[in-house]
Amino acid sequence: MPTKIPIKSSNRAKQKIPQTYDHTGNTIEFYISEETAAYEKERPFTVYYDDPAHSVRLLKGDCIAILNQSRENSVDMIFADPPYCLSNGGITCHAGKMVSVNKGKWDKSRGVEENHKFTLDWLKACQRILKTNGTIWVSGTTHIIYTVGFAMQQLGYKILNDIVWYKRNAPPNLSCRYFTHSTEIVLWAAKNGKSKHYFDYPLMKKMNHGKQMRNVWEISPPLTDEKKFGKHPTQKPVDLLARIVQASTKENDLVLDPFCGSSTTGIASVLLNRKYVGIDFEEEYLHLSKKRIEDITKKPSLFKQGESVAVNQCKVLSESISA
């Protein structure tokens, strides 16, 4: 393995103005920095799936390692659904049956301090690659969302909104010792306090029947058709991600999901003519992502050359938007 050459700091290097990158060619080089690739023997990922025609790419690897070797200021929007750290041997209710909450080793808690360090590490890596006016959305339950919010404040993000996603048909609480969990929080934040973030206010108002859209969104869990190739244990509905993508990005923007799972973010991005990079280290879920993306891209009626996907074609807008 070639020896890494230390890079000496200088006043000139400190004064360097970060460059913003565009991705017209949609090649993997837009994502991994030349500076890092020059002295690394191996890239920290493998390209699991590549569809240049629809600007989709899935990477297999550790998201922190990948993001730390990626170009700064290169991503328009990030949606992250990190591990909830709930796989502790407990039980929950699914389809009327008592089932284990254990999802896998990736979801096990490592203790409060280690969990927070992990949150700081991946949020810092995300902040580095966001464009100056880019934004990040992070979904989570009460088990992690507060450490996410605290970490965002520590890193200098500007929190814009806390979206309350209300799930009408939430599973009952089996212990009968707590209120039934029927919501998830989605934090929306800008890269820093100086960011001039993009928000499609007119579209959100139009979707909400001419009224300002509030931060409580009633959206049903994933539809049966969204799970026909299998499901991820924390899979999000396309309706939710479509609204997020439309609210905070423009056509041809680059959307990144560092914990992509079944790539609902990718489905919404493809339907709405955005570029998409998804990262995961579980091949099972990358395979599921690939199947879902291939299925949607084989339906040419959903796409129009040079235009956004029509709202009534997208089948991703919520039918019940909270007023």
Whether the CB-CB separation of 129 and 72 falls below 8 Å is answered with yes
Segments of the chain assigned E as strands: 46-51, 56-60, 75-80, 91-94, 97-100, 130-140, 158-166, 183-190, 216-218, 254-257, 275-280
What pLDDT score does 21 carry?
44
Band (200; pLDDT cuts 50, 70, 90): very high
The pLDDT score that the predictor gives to residue 112 is: 86
Question: Which pLDDT does position 299 carry in this prediction?
Answer: 74
Write down the pLDDT at residue 42. Answer: 63
Q: What is the mean pLDDT of residues 80-88?
A: 75
Q: Check residue 230 and give its pLDDT.
A: 67
pLDDT tens per residue, range 34-73: 444 443 546 677 889 999 889 999 999 999 999 988 888 9
Higher pLDDT pick, 301 / 121? 121
Rounded to whole angstroms, the Cα distance separating 304 from 313 reads 10
Cβ atoms of 293 and 238 closer than 8 Å: no
Q: Domains of the chain (ranges plus CATH)?
A: 48-314 (3.40.50.150)
221 — pLDDT class (breaks 50, 70, 90): confident
Residue 12: pLDDT above 70?
no
pLDDT value at 98 more than 60:
no
Taking 50 as the threshold, does the pLDDT of residue 156 lie above it?
Answer: yes
**Residues 276-288: what's their mean pLDDT?**
93
Share of the chain above pLDDT 90, in %: 51
Q: Is the pLDDT of residue 298 over 50?
A: yes
Q: Give the pLDDT of residue 18.
A: 47
Give 311's pLDDT tier (boundaries 50, 70, 90). Answer: very low
